[in-house]
Structure formats: C-alpha cells, structure tokens
Structure 1
Amino acid sequence: MAILLNNNGYDNESWRQELTRRLPELPVRVFGELVHPADIRYAMVWNHPAGDLCRYPNLRAIFSLGAGGEHFMGDDSLPEVPIVLLADPAVARDMAAHALYWVATFHRRYEDYRRQQSQKIWDRKKIGPAENFRVGIVGLGRIGTEVARRISDFGYDVSGWDRAERQVENVECYCGPQSLTDFLEINDVIINCLSLSPKTKHLLSYRVFSSMKPGSYFVSISRGAVVDDEALLDALDRGHLAGAALDVFAHEPLPRDHPYWSHSKVNVTPHMSGATFASSAAAVVAENVRKLERGDPVQPLFDRHGA
C-alpha cells in the first residue's frame, strides 16, 4: 500500500520527505510517477485533476493539502471515501497574524504615515484606543474563530457572524441572514473568513458592502469567490469603504488587467496569508492517517453537499 501525493506544484519533495519520515510503512508516489492504481491507499492532493481519484480501487481516504476543499466541488466521480481537510494550527495562526497586521494598519493609519514619509511630513494622526475600533469576522469556522481570538487578545472589540450559531469566548456572535446587517453596520473593519460553497459564492454582495459602516475597511483571507468583485469596487469607488486588503481572488493568479492591481484603495497580496509548510502540516496529516488505521474518527471532513 502507498500514498499518492500531488500538491500541484507546491513543493512535492518536502511533502514526500516529511510523509516518509512520519509514515515510513507507506511509500509516497508523486502523481505522474509510475504506480499501480491498486497500491494507492491514501491520496494527498491539492487541485488534483478531476476524474483521476476514482481510478484507485483500494483508496481509503482523500486528504486536502490546503485548508479549503472547494477544489473537490464539481467532481462527481469522487469515490465514497472520507475527504479530510487540513487543520494545521500553524496555518490558522499565520492567517490570524496577517489579519491582525491589516487591522493595526487601518486602525493606526500606518498607510498615511508611509505617504507622509515620502513628503517629509511630521504629523501625528489622531486615533482612538483599540477597544473603540470594532472588528467583525465573517465566518466563524476554525480559521475565523482563531482570527477572532487572536485579534481580541490585542484589545480590539471583536464580533463575529456566521450562518450557523457559534460561541466564541470574548466575541459577540451573530448568526443567520436576519442579523447580518446589524453586525455589518457596527464594525470599523470586516474580515472575510468564509469558506467557499454554493451557498457562500458572492455572498459578500452589493447589499453587504452597502450595509457596512461608512468609512470602514474590508479584509479578505478565505476564498476570493465569496466576494462579488464589482460590488466591492463600487463601494470603494463611491467612497463608502475607505480601503481593502485582499489576499484571495476568484481567479488566481490575479489577471494583470484586473482593476484591483491599480486601485488606490486596494492592497493586493498573492494568497500568502496562511502558507502551508510540510514540516508542520505533515504531522497533522500523519496523525489522521494513524487514526484511520485504528478506525478512529477524523476531523474536519469536507461536506460534499456544500452546506
């Protein structure tokens, strides 16, 4: 029995080395190498070609090598085995750090100081204390909850919204569409942590951006297709929103002619807020393999029905 590995160009060799060290009894075969389909017991993949995973008759589970699972959506040929998402605490921590950076940047007006430096202007901007700068997290799953906790630890007033009822310590939680507007209009910055599914695609729409507090900011670190780009650009262009920091996009790499690149109120980063390192992530994956071998349950699982 063996592991099929395909991280779609993102350092397969580091993953091979780490998995071999942690699961020496399971040889690692990188996708494209000569392999007998019946030998594959586990597939560890990211953006794997649709239709391929049904070729392995002894496949027991599929592992996503990233936090999301939307790359499995639309592949009706997927075998009926568990699809395990990557829940690496190091990724969640790094995404929280990225979000905190932008919260502090907008709150403390660091971009204004960058502009002032080029003009040799010494002018201290007036700001309020952190507890008066309200931060809203849209999507209180594993990543959103970690983001909320970390930002709250720095003294910011944090609230969160999710489609389902959630409870997070020191975070005022809202749930359901009926409470979304109330949540949006009280926050100085909104951070998108929603996973992508048929129910969340373009959920952040004209109505959502228009309901945000005038002069507030938007940060997106989950999946780009949750955002209606035209709606966000409209809110920025008419001055309703003061700025945005975007790390994820519906189409990646971001097309060179996209308006975000040159927009004066938009900060673009290339999907780097939560880098996945094989050194830490392989330990999480290997532990889940051990659980499956023992017959124990594993989490989190991908919802094939897009709930």
Structure 2
Amino acid sequence: MINVLFAALPARWDEFAPHLRSAFDAAGLEVELRQDFAPAEVDYIVYAPNGDLQDFTPYTRCKAVLSLWAGVEQIVTNETLTQPLCRMVDPGLTQAMVEWVTGHVLRYHLGIDANLANQTTWDPVAPPLAQDRHIGILGLGALGAACGQALAQLGFNVHGWSRTEKQIEGLTCHHGDAGLHATLRRSEILTLLLPDTAATTHVLNAETLALMPKGACILNPGRGPLIDDTALLAALDSGQIAHATLDVFRVEPLPAENPYWAHPNVTVTPHIAAATRASTAAGVIAENIHRAEAGAPLHHLVDRTRGY
C-alpha cells in the first residue's frame, strides 16, 4: 500500500479526493489517500504551498512532493524540503492558459475595447491581418510554447524568448540579452509567461518597456514580480504602453488602494488565467507516482538551482 498525504487547503479535499482516487485506480496503484497520516508513514505528498504544511523534516520516508501549482517560488527555497519536488504541468491548466491568452490577444488585435467604448460614432478602422501583427512571448516553457503555437496557427507572427536556447515549431525563438531586446522591439502585443526567479524579477522595467513599439499592449498571466509596477504605470501614463491586462500581482487579492484598479488603461483579472483542475491534475499526480514506483524518472522535476 502506498500512503499519499493530501496537503492542500482542507476546502480542496472534496474537489480533489474523488479524482485522485479514480486516477490511482486507473494507474493500477494501491493507494491510501488521507489528510492525516503520521509523517513517518507518508510515501508521497500532494501539496499546495498555501496549506499548513511547511516543515518537511519529519517526512523521512517521503519519496517526492508533488505540487498542485505550476509555480513553485513559494516552496523551492524551503530548506526543510530535501525530497524531490515536482511542479504541476497539467493539460487542463495549459488549455486554460491558451484560451485566456488567445482571447486577450484577439481582443487587442481586433480593437474590441475601442469598439465597445465607441457606440455613437461610425469610425471604420479595420485591424491588420494576423500575419501582419507581431506577437511576443517571454517564457517558452510548456505554457509559453502552447500559447505561441496556438497564436501561430491563427496566422500571427510570433517571436518568443527564453533564457536558454530553444527551438519550437511555428515560432521564431530568441534567447540571451540580445534576443530579449530583439523580441521586445517587435512586440506589438506581449505576453509574460516566465517563472518567478531572481533572474526574471522586473524583466519589464523602464529600460525594457522603452524598447517596445509605442502603443504596445501587455498581458501578464505569469507572475507579478516580472513587472516593475512603477515603470509600467509610467509607461501607461505616457502612452508608450497603450494597455495592460494583468492576472497576477505581488500581493493577492490585489489591494483596493492599488492604482491598477483605477487606471483607465489597465484590465485586472483575479488570477484566473490558468487554475489547476482536479479532473486533469489528478492524472498527472498518478502518473508521477506510478513512474516513481517503477523506478522511472519523475516528470516536471524542479531544478532547485534555477528555481523552477
């Protein structure tokens, strides 16, 4: 029998437990799934960083910690966590992110906001074709690659940037500082899908925002610290950036006094771009436990030195 501890918020238990049990059965795993094991009895931990478990020291038998979140910045620096850590790469999460990004790119591309705001004047301004619209994506992991390829299939001219060199079908890929600048200079609509690490903090700042085409639009469903908020507000006020749609923030929920709420050129969405769905995430968890029990490498293993 494999003992799996569910260490997320108790409110998530009723949502996740049936799907996890079904996924374990489908994978041929004999699992006892509970919320209350003694630490020394636990083989695997299904984990969310906002739960009560913060000290992993007593979990001496634990073979892996399997996060329900795609982001691991709240756990990766925990010194008590010596077990392998896997982040969530879930097809449902990926599909949700593709839908959110594609929807907002099309909103900007087609000028939907301007049309909604102008319902009294006949002003026939047609958008360019997708092939003439330059889209940038910072971050070419599973989410960035999927979003970029979906946009490329719609005909958009998509350039992507990652810290390390990558080749992704349908995208023009860049890396390094020169590649970042080249991507920004052509990005009329830019999406941020980088992880939150020391190397990515304030990747959009006064200097990099100034590289973008005047009147560009920004989407951030990635991580709040990717953007220097003061610099973005200044760029919005000057017209360098026409509009920003922001789904993630340094402090969440976004405080009522935050200037993003009242800014006329900012759309706030409440961290909904890509939520973990129990129905699809359960299969990812079950597959990784099956792999570990068979002696195979874990999927989506976090590199502690890189922070993701």
| TM-score, with length taken from structure 2 | 0.93
Matching of residue 52 in structure 1 with residue 55 in structure 2: yes
Bigger drift between 268-277 and 68-77 goes to: 68-77
1:131 CA displacement: 0.6
Q: Supply the distance in 1 between the matched residues of 2:263 and 2:124 (Cα, whole angstroms).
A: 26
Which secondary structure does the structure 1 equivalent of 2:140 belong to?
coil
Which secondary structure does the structure 2 equivalent of 1:23 belong to?
helix
Matched-pair contact (CA < 8 Å) for 1:138–1:194:
yes
Q: Which one of the candidate residues 108, 114, 117 is aligned to 1:115?
A: 117
Closer, same or farther in 2 for the Cα pair 1:225/1:10, shift >3 Å?
A: farther
1:43-92 deviations in Å (ceiling 9; x for gaps): 1111144642222111010011011111213311112x211111111211
Q: Supply the distance in 2 between the matched residues of 1:100 and 1:144 (Cα, whole angstroms).
A: 12
Q: Supply the distance in 1 between the matched residues of 2:243 and 2:124 (Cα, whole angstroms).
A: 20
Q: Which runs of 5+ in 2 are unaligned?
A: none
Pairing of 1:140-219 with structure 2 (within 5 A): 140-219=140-219
Q: Supply the distance in 1 between the matched residues of 2:212 and 2:43 (Cα, whole angstroms).
A: 48
Bigger drift between 158-167 and 193-202 goes to: 193-202
In structure 1, give the amino acid aligned to 2:189: V
Matched-pair contact (CA < 8 Å) for 1:50–1:75:
no
Which secondary structure does the structure 2 equivalent of 1:288 belong to?
helix
1:14 CA displacement: 1.6
Q: Supply the distance in 1 between the matched residues of 2:260 and 2:273 (Cα, whole angstroms).
A: 18
Q: Give the match for residue 98 of structure 1.
A: 100
Q: Give the match for residue 86 of structure 2.
A: 84
Q: Supply the distance in 1 between the matched residues of 2:116 and 2:10 (Cα, whole angstroms).
A: 36
In structure 2, give the amino acid aligned to 1:68: G
Q: Which one of the candidate residues 15, 28, 44 is aligned to 2:33?
A: 28
Matched-pair contact (CA < 8 Å) for 1:6–1:12:
no
Q: Supply the distance in 1 between the matched residues of 2:148 and 2:11 (Cα, whole angstroms).
A: 29
Q: Supply the distance in 2 between the matched residues of 1:9 and 1:255 (Cα, whole angstroms).
A: 25
Aligned alpha-carbon RMSD (Å): 1.5
Q: Supply the distance in 2 between the matched residues of 1:189 and 1:270 (Cα, whole angstroms).
A: 21
Q: Supply the distance in 2 between the matched residues of 1:203 and 1:10 (Cα, whole angstroms).
A: 35
1:10 CA displacement: 5.9
Matched-pair contact (CA < 8 Å) for 2:9–2:52:
no
Closer, same or farther in 2 for the Cα pair 1:179/1:22, shift >3 Å?
A: closer
Matched-pair contact (CA < 8 Å) for 1:46–1:71:
no
Q: Which has the higher contact order (CA 8 A, sep 6+)?
A: 2
1:2 CA displacement: 1.7
In structure 2, give the amino acid aligned to 1:116: N
Q: Which runs of 5+ in 1 are unaligned?
A: none
In structure 2, give the amino acid aligned to 1:55: P
Which secondary structure does the structure 1 equivalent of 2:109 belong to?
helix
Q: Supply the distance in 1 between the matched residues of 2:192 and 2:15 (Cα, whole angstroms).
A: 30
Q: Which one of the candidate residues 61, 64, 88 is aligned to 1:61?
A: 64
Closer, same or farther in 2 for the Cα pair 1:163/1:254, shift >3 Å?
A: same
Matched-pair contact (CA < 8 Å) for 1:198–1:306:
no
Give the length in aligned residue pairs. Answer: 301
